[in-house]
Amino acid sequence: MLDIKYIRENPDKIKQGCQNKQVKCDIDRLLELDKQRRKIIQEAEGLKAEQNKLGKDDQEKAKEIKNKIKELEPELKKVGEEFNSIMKLIPNMPLDDVIKGKSEEDNKIIRQEGEKTKFDFDPKDYLDIAENLDLIDVKRAAKASGTRFGYLKGGAVLLEFALIQLAFNTLIKEKFIPVIPPVMLNRKSMDGMGYLDRGIDEVYHLEKDDLFLVGTSEQSIGAMHMDEIFEEKDLPRRYVGFSTCFRREAGASGKDTRGILRVHQFDKTEMFVFCKPEDSFKEHKLLLAMEEKLMKMLELPYQVIDICSADLGDPAAKKWDIEVWMPGQNQYRETHSTSNCTDFQARRLNTRYKSKDGVKFVHTLNGTAFSQRPILAIIENYQQKDGSVKVPEVLQPYMGGMKVIG
């Protein structure tokens, strides 16, 4: 959520930011409601001040004032509800250096790292290889659960846990605190993270309990310090969390239906940072550096993408993606993203810190360490002519010395 004072002082900038994110918000109506709301509050406070000055002999006057205050309450509630509904629909503003774009087609490749893997045979895609090695089973998953599910088996399971251990060991050295968070959040927490106002179609909701399944552990780690105040000396606070994630993929009809690249349930290791506002740019660069370090340890070729305004989610003010080269598909596919959400989530969650200038809102940032997608990239990039898959050298110690799967 944005600061209403900032919106009052910069209405044209807010309108432009919404337009750049391809989001429709009635800022003029919001400001009109803001004036009404402040006028009613001012009138009520004036009546209360007058009431407090009355003595015991002015009971009739006090009763009259009390009734006037009571008459204002329904109007304030009505105006306040509409005001809050519009406020919650205003996305975070893109930072000044974000590319102004109309769709993901306007995202920009910043750089490419590593040479594309070469073979002396025609490379297969990950699903053909994995099914031959009995590593991924989508047919039985469809029977058990439906479309966009898969069983990981055998060496693929070992690869996943090896990736998790590699990520945790690497990030703990950078003062990330390991955490396994809840995968169900109450409404206040999920709403506070900014994923219900426009993204509710992607979220699984348990209606009986009014709980939401997380789409990323970012959501539950961010809510962990809701209504808390950090000491300045304790920032930045960096976490690395592991959780199963759940997404409806409502907006992906007909997209990536083959295999397990885009599924309803997957595991992910996620980085999350709370920091002072002046440090968020530096922390964002750190998250990207950690993502790149992990990819280089796996010796996978990848490219870094600067995400344009139209492709930013509501909470993000700036975002970079990493896409890995998939030789069996002859294209790059996304494996990582990292976002600077500035104080957008912190305002909604009321997460602050004590500074020498008073209590201020923190900035929040998130970034993928590993999801299950690098497993698919390993299968394609490390495939052998005989149909087996070589295990990346950095993962072999976490797999009991296993060098080849198959």
What does the pLDDT read at residue 274? Answer: 98
The candidate with the shortest Cα–Cα distance to 316, out of 15, 11, 21, is: 21
**CA of residue 75 relative to chain centroid, distance:** 36
Which residues, including other chains, have CB under 8 Å from residue 150's CB and lie 6 or more apart? Answer: 136, 137, 138, 141, 259, 260, 263
Euclidean distance between CA atoms 314 and 348, whole angstroms: 13
Residue 360, token pair as written in the block: 């201020």
Domains of the chain: 4-87 (1.10.287.40), 104-405 (3.30.930.10)
Burial of residue 298, with CB atoms counted within 10 A of its CB: 0-12 exposed, 13-18 middle, 19 or more buried = buried
pLDDT of residue 224: 97
Q: Which residues pair with 177 in a beta bridge?
A: 239
Would residue 228 be called left, alpha or beta, if left means φ above 0 and alpha means ψ between -120 and 50 degrees? Answer: beta
Task: Give the pLDDT confidence score for residue 155 in this predicted structure.
Answer: 97
**What whole-number distance in Å separates Cα of residue 242 and Cα of residue 176?**
12
Torsion-angle region of residue 80: left (phi > 0), alpha (psi -120 to 50) or beta? alpha
**Amino acid symbol at 159:** L
3-state SS record for the chain: CCCHHHHHHCHHHHHHHHHHCCCCCCHHHHHHHHHHHHHHHHHHHHHHHHHHHCCHHHHHHHHHHHHHHHHHHHHHHHHHHHHHHHHCCCCCCCCCCCCCCCCHHHCEEEEEECCCCCCCCCCCCHHHHHHHCCCEEHHHHHHHCCCCCCEECCHHHHHHHHHHHHHHHHHHCCCEEEECCCCEEEHHHHHHCCCCCCCHHHCCEECCCCEEECCCHHHHHHHCCCCCEEEHHHCCEEEEEEEEEECCCCCCCCCCCCCCCCCCEEEEEEEEEEECHHHHHHHHHHHHHHHHHHHHHCCCCEEEEECCHHHCCCCCCEEEEEEEEECCCCEEEEEEEEEECCCHHHHHHCCEEEECCEEEECEEEEEEEECCHHHHHHHHHCECCCCCEECCHHHHHHHCCCCEEC
Kindly give, in sequence order, each residue whose CB lies less than 8 Å from that of residue 102, ignoring residues fewer than 6 positions away. Answer: 22, 308, 310
Query: CA-CA distance, 139 to 149, in Å (whole number)?
Result: 9
- In angstroms, the CA 14 to CA 90 distance is 9
Residue 395 confidence (pLDDT): 98
Cβ atoms of 392 and 378 within 8 Å: the answer is yes
Q: What is the mean pLDDT of each run of 10 residues along the chain (406 residues)?
A: 95 97 96 96 90 79 88 93 95 97 96 96 97 97 96 98 98 97 97 90 95 96 98 98 94 78 96 98 98 98 98 96 97 97 97 96 98 98 98 97 96
The pLDDT value given to residue 121: 96
Q: How far apart are CA 112 and CA 332, in angstroms?
A: 11
CB atoms within 10 A of CB 282: 11
Q: Are 278 and 292 in contact (CB under 8 A)?
A: no
Which value, in Å, is the radius of gyration of the alpha carbons in the chain? 25
Distance CA 294, CA 173 (A): 13
Q: Which residues, including other chains, have CB under 8 Å from residue 6's CB and lie 6 or more apart?
A: 14
